[in-house]
Chain A
Amino acid sequence: MIIPQTRNIGLPMMNLMRFKGLPILQQLQIEEQLLRTSSENWCIINDGTNDPTIVMGVSGKPAELLEIESVLRDQVPVIRRFTGGGTVIVDNGTIFVTFICNKEAVPDLQPYPRPIMSWSSTLYSKVFQGIGDFNLRENDYVFGNHKFGGNAQSITKNKWIHHTSFLWDFDVRNMAYLKLPKRAPAYRSARGHLDFICRLKDYMPRSIFIDKTVEAAGTQFSLRSLKSEAIETCSKTEFCPSTRFLTNEELEAAAVAGQ
């Protein structure tokens, strides 16, 4: 995507990395490493992950959030990520978009959860202009009152990360692994998963969504595409991410403790 040079003056640099089918654990570990060790701004897009995986927030309690018996029976991998927020089950129908920014990268943006959330919604408003009834409801991206994108953040001393999983498509059966969460946004109004969420594919083609997201990011940052080899060099350093799989033993112990 060619952006006229004059428009780039004064825009902060941002490295853009695009993946397709990258395992979600690897994506999250890369993000965690970039947040903690890189001084640059990053945009990471993963167009679908490979296997269906459950991803919980940093303090998620498996017994409260998952149907552990089904999860163990079907050997669904469970990851605890480094950002806050809720639980999702992701697969190749999920599109991930992540922004990792220095605190000064976005002018006049205060590095707190709500301002960052609002900023992200203005970016995506450009993507979804004229399409559906796009909004940020509490912390979710919705069309009308149906959620299609979930957000999570982590804010450190000098940087912040805001990442989103978009439900371009999902398998209804996978939702059965997730319990109705105790902490839910008010607008959910106790709706079950299938009444609460919707599919982005009903609103926009996949590649168009990704292209428009890159275009929207390009209005605020000077994007520089990086090849994925660049990130492999990165992952050879000493950094040890906290994002990891939960073991079967941990899940079993959680199931027992939760009874």
Chain B
Amino acid sequence: MIGRRLLQKRVWNSGRRWLFPSSLLSPVPAEYCKRHFSTHVLAAFSSPGDNPVNLKIPYTENKCKFFSSIAVAHLSTNGIVDVPLAQTGEGIAECELLKWFVHEGDEIDEFQPLCEVQSDKATIEITSRYKGRVAQVLHVPGSIVKVGETLLKMAVEENRIPLVVLGNLENEKHCDTKLNKDCTGGVLSTPAVRNLAKEHGINIDEVQGSGKDSRVLKEDVLKYAAQKSIIEDPSFTATADLGELFHGETSSSQVSAEVSGHYEDTIVPLRGFQRTMVKTMSMAAKVPHFHYVEEIDCDALAELKASFQTNNSEPGIKFTFLPILIKSLSLALSKYPVVNSCFNEESVEVILRGSHNIGIAMATPCGLVVPNIKNVQSLSILEITKELSRLQQLALDNKLSPDDISGGTITLSNIGAIGGKFGAPIVNLPEVAIIAMGRIQKLPRVADDGDIYSASIMTVNIGADHRVLDGATVARFCNEWKRFIEKPELLMLHMK
């Protein structure tokens, strides 16, 4: 065990500067997600019943989700959006257009069926991603349309682009499909790929996607850049391909290479934030982690949330699980302050932070950011809900301040929103603990009398710095947090 000295009132910011440089609005690229999904950390932890992390982007998932990525259309200046043929699934290269359900000039709602296409054995209804007006129909029934080719053009007002709410935990078994539809403007791709396109000065809508659902992959952007002579002598990097991590299978990128017929290597120099992430990850990799996994019954949580919603006297407030989880976390941290600490390697000191500044991972147009809610120990659940909403809105608008994103003492990650039972997160230095929450799933449980009943179970994985925390401490801390979640009435016992 490492000897500790308490040093209070010492502002600890230097460790975070590399994450959020002075030009605040630079995006945190999605490589940041590697701290959550690092496969080598996953390999270090194994237990019976371990499930591999499923990292599918939830463009088509219709399950409970914790947060969805933001839709931002890449509009040309006159507000016209190209709507490509998508929603056909992998392995389908082209479809026959059977009929239109709309005409030029029609006003369209989000998710309204636009047309019907046929591929092989299936007729498929293609629905609109946007609310807007049909500006121009580009194909007639009977024509063959390639997947990814523009079907029609729509006039969309910028403030009407569907923006999915960030960071909300919804424990509904069948989520509102609005949250789950692919809602990027123009093309589908991950924040990392968009970032790459931006770095090369490429309009991502011009890139032909070769991935699933015509998704634009990193290779597509690099090939396009090579064609435009932006990059000379392209070659693929040998490092772990983030595109593969996010798409979950390598076959799609192999198929796309075969389809396009390009086999050259591409060199991608890592600059700016990506370069910083290399250093960050290397540093984080040196931290000896251990992971603690627990299942939490969320039935009581669901009831509480429903009660808040039913008895909500303030309009404009949407109640979700997250604020309750955050407040419970803070109460547990009060009992185990070492989990809310920072470690100073040079001086071999642990700073037990007085404030509970709980960071919440959020996906934004510019990538992943982790703003934190300050002083959760002094906030009510309602206040936390409002502050969370404020931060979410700022994140959406890319207007988080340096104060919002620094000073965090512990991080919560909604990995379940993307998929998977649980992740194996890596701590956000200089914090000592990070909690990844998986999807809430309805699972069978066995009662004391042997009856089987169904319960809403969330799996959490706490990643901890083993130089500071030991298994027993994390286990007890987690038990405390779990108690508050499963019996939320206990929160009242500790209220001041």
Partner of B124, one of A107, A110, A155, A158: A155
In chain A, positions 106-141 with a C-beta closer than 8 Å to chain B are: 107-108, 110-117, 139
Q: Is A58 an interface residue (CB 8 A)?
A: yes
Quote the shortest CB–CB distance from B436 to chain A (angstroms): 20
Q: Is A171 an interface residue (CB 8 A)?
A: no
Q: Is B11 an interface residue (CB 8 A)?
A: no
Q: Is A82 an interface residue (CB 8 A)?
A: yes
Interface string of B70-112 (1 = CB under 8 A from A): 0000000000000000011111100010100000000000010
Q: Is B492 an interface residue (CB 8 A)?
A: no
Number of interface residues of B (CB under 8 A): 32
Q: B111 — which chain A residues lie within 8 A by C-beta?
A: 157
B444 touches A10 (CB 8 A): yes
Quote the shortest CB–CB distance from A201 to chain B (angstroms): 24
Q: Is B393 an interface residue (CB 8 A)?
A: no
Whole-angstrom distance between the alpha carbons of A139 and B121 in the complex? 7
Quote the shortest CB–CB distance from A86 to chain B (angstroms): 8
Q: Is B120 an interface residue (CB 8 A)?
A: yes
B62 touches A103 (CB 8 A): yes
B120 touches A113 (CB 8 A): yes
Q: Is A83 an interface residue (CB 8 A)?
A: yes
Partner of B98, one of A6, A58, A113: A58
Partner of A9, one of B88, B119, B454: B454
Q: B255 — which chain A residues lie within 8 A by C-beta?
A: none
Q: Is A153 an interface residue (CB 8 A)?
A: yes
Q: Is A154 an interface residue (CB 8 A)?
A: yes
A117 touches B121 (CB 8 A): yes
Quote the shortest CB–CB distance from A173 to chain B (angstroms): 26
B122 touches A153 (CB 8 A): yes
Quote the shortest CB–CB distance from B246 to chain A (angstroms): 16
Q: Is B442 an interface residue (CB 8 A)?
A: yes
Whole-angstrom distance between the alpha carbons of A68 and B263 in the complex? 48
In chain B, positions 105-153 with a C-beta closer than 8 Å to chain A are: 111, 113, 118-125, 127, 142
B123 touches A9 (CB 8 A): no
Whole-angstrom distance between the alpha carbons of A139 and B119 in the complex? 12
Instruction: Identify the A interface with B (CB < 8 A).
Output: 6, 9-10, 57-59, 82-86, 103-104, 107-108, 110-117, 139, 151-158
Given pairs A108-B63, A111-B60, A152-B122, 12 additional interface contacts (CB within 8 A): A59-B118, A83-B122, A104-B173, A104-B174, A110-B60, A112-B89, A114-B90, A114-B92, A117-B121, A139-B121, A153-B122, A154-B123
